Amino acid sequence: MPNADSSQLDVVVIGAGIAGLAAATALRHHNVTVLEQSRLKEEVGAAIHLGPNAAKIALGWGMSLDNLNSPETQWYHELGHDGKTHFKIPIFARKEFGAPWLLNHRVDLHNELRRLATTEAGEGKPATVRTAARVVQIDPEAGVVELADGEKIHADVIIAADGIHSVGRTAVLGQKLVANRSGHSAYRALIPRDRLLDNPRALAILDGDEKGMGLTTFMGSDRRLVAYPCRKGTLLNIVAIVPDSEAESSTEEWHVQGDPEKLLKSFENFCDDAKFILRAAPSCNLWQLREQDPLETWTKGRVILIGDAAHAMLPHQGQGGGQAIEDAEALAVVLPTSTPASAVPERLQLAEKIRYERATRIQSYSREKALGPKPGEKVVNAQEHAAYNFGYAGARGYAEKHGIALPASA
């Protein structure tokens, strides 16, 4: 049954990834339980952008830059596969958008969000995180989650932050959807600084220049190599995107082992600096890039989808994690402390109304950037959508701009 106490809602969050922990942090003014199917020993070792749109929100929650140790993006440098510069532009994220553009080690960001969600020191109540709790079924109208061991948990709000293979999405839509193949796969690797010392140009991609650190992309017609520093510049993160035909063993999972020799062969026509970086990778993971077509709805009854469960997108805008954080912030706006349980379905629809158009547009931008320029085609600045991506005033600002009425107490 819904919680009779209208001041605080019982919230179940499915999934303890970035989306789930962001939601747990944003909703500390309610009673939050996070259900995670894994043992949550550690997130996958890779890196992730956090643009100023999301960094501003997370910093407002109390995120510590000292804990993250994340370089700030001061420039973006795009080169061709031959190593010739297409353009190098300065980035003024703090000045233009009011927050930094952070280059995070994924484990560090995940740990910081978990701290924010569960610390006793924060405002509200710490979330409870239950591991080895696999959700197998959801009743959206009754607000009931069933676990693999048969346990049933009642909630006023169920937030499905369970990723691309979402159980929540099946419950909301009434059918199981399979994400679309993009035609590309991505190798990921983290390279320690000492493995780059023999190439000053490669080392400069990690260490940056007099203006600071930034992102570098070597762009080919059907593949690219993206490189940027993380963890105080001690590691160089690389993402090497290749056609699926050259990565037949890829899956949607991040932990599948990649073949460094196949990775290098896929970039054999790239410049020496790019190949040096690839050879420096001690190991690599491989996964297939998939995305979801825009869903008809994200909500049903007491359930709402967020993050990849709602709007899985390709990585070419670096906004997957950021959009999940925006989703979480919107939930806090539409579900203030005074929200009665009876109003939850309507409030979740309101959250979708605030978030759907923007997340769907960024999905589209990411799809547009899936391929590099064709032969003879003008090189387009990959940051052309930065103003839209980064210039987000939060759920309240979006609602005001678009004439969306918020609850009186929001």
Q: Is 212 left (phi over 0), alpha (psi -120 to 50) or beta?
A: left
Both 362 and 337 in a single domain? yes
Both 287 and 306 in a single domain? no
Tell me, yes or no, whether 96 lies in a domain.
no
CATH of the domain at 144: 3.50.50.60
Tell me, yes or no, whether 92 lies in a domain.
no
CA distance readout (Å), 239 to 1, 164, 201, 222, 404 = 47, 20, 18, 14, 39
Please state whether beta strands 224-230 and 135-139 pair in parallel, antiparallel, or not at all (unpaired).
unpaired
Both 110 and 255 in a single domain? no
Both 57 and 149 in a single domain? yes
Both 119 and 189 in a single domain? no
Tell me, yes or no, whether 129 lies in a domain.
yes
Number of domains into which the chain is organized: 2
State whether residue 134 is helix, strand or coil: coil
Both 357 and 273 in a single domain? no
State whether residue 144 is helix, strand or coil: strand
Domain boundary among 249, 268, 291: 291
Tell me, yes or no, whether 4 lies in a domain.
no
Mean pLDDT of the chain: 91
* Catalytic site residue from 28, 169, 188, 347: 188
Q: Give the whole-angstrom CA distance, residue 48 versus residue 324.
A: 13
Residues with Cβ < 8 Å from 195, sequence gap 6 or more?
280, 282
Q: Are 360 and 294 in contact (CB under 8 A)?
A: yes
Both 19 and 160 in a single domain? yes
Both 127 and 270 in a single domain? no
Q: Are 302 and 157 in contact (CB under 8 A)?
A: yes
Q: What is the pLDDT of residue 180?
A: 75
Dihedral of the alpha carbons of 12, 14, 15, 16, in degrees to the nearest 10 = 0
Range of the domain at 202: 180-291
Tell me, yes or no, whether 87 lies in a domain.
no
Both 145 and 211 in a single domain? no
Both 29 and 143 in a single domain? yes
Write down the pTM of the prediction: 0.93
Both 18 and 131 in a single domain? yes
Q: Give the whole-angstrom CA distance, residue 255 versus residue 13.
A: 24
Cβ burial, residue 402 (10 Å; 0-12/13-18/19+): exposed
Q: Are 252 and 234 in contact (CB under 8 A)?
A: no
Domain boundary among 291, 325, 355: 291
Asked about 114 being catalytic, the answer comes back as no
Asked about 188 being catalytic, the answer comes back as yes
Both 257 and 392 in a single domain? no
* Catalytic site residue from 76, 187, 228, 398: 228
Q: What is the pLDDT of residue 253?
A: 56
Residues of the chain with pLDDT under 70: 1-6, 41-45, 247-255, 369-384, 410
Q: Are 135 and 35 in contact (CB under 8 A)?
A: yes
Dihedral of the alpha carbons of 222, 312, 149, 29, in degrees to the nearest 10 = 140
Q: What is the pLDDT of residue 7?
A: 79
Residues with Cβ < 8 Å from 358, sequence gap 6 or more?
323, 326, 392, 398
Residue pointed to by tokens 């990690």: 206
Domain boundary among 291, 323, 355: 291
The pair of structure tokens assigned to 286 is 């491989």
Tell me, yes or no, whether 147 lies in a domain.
yes
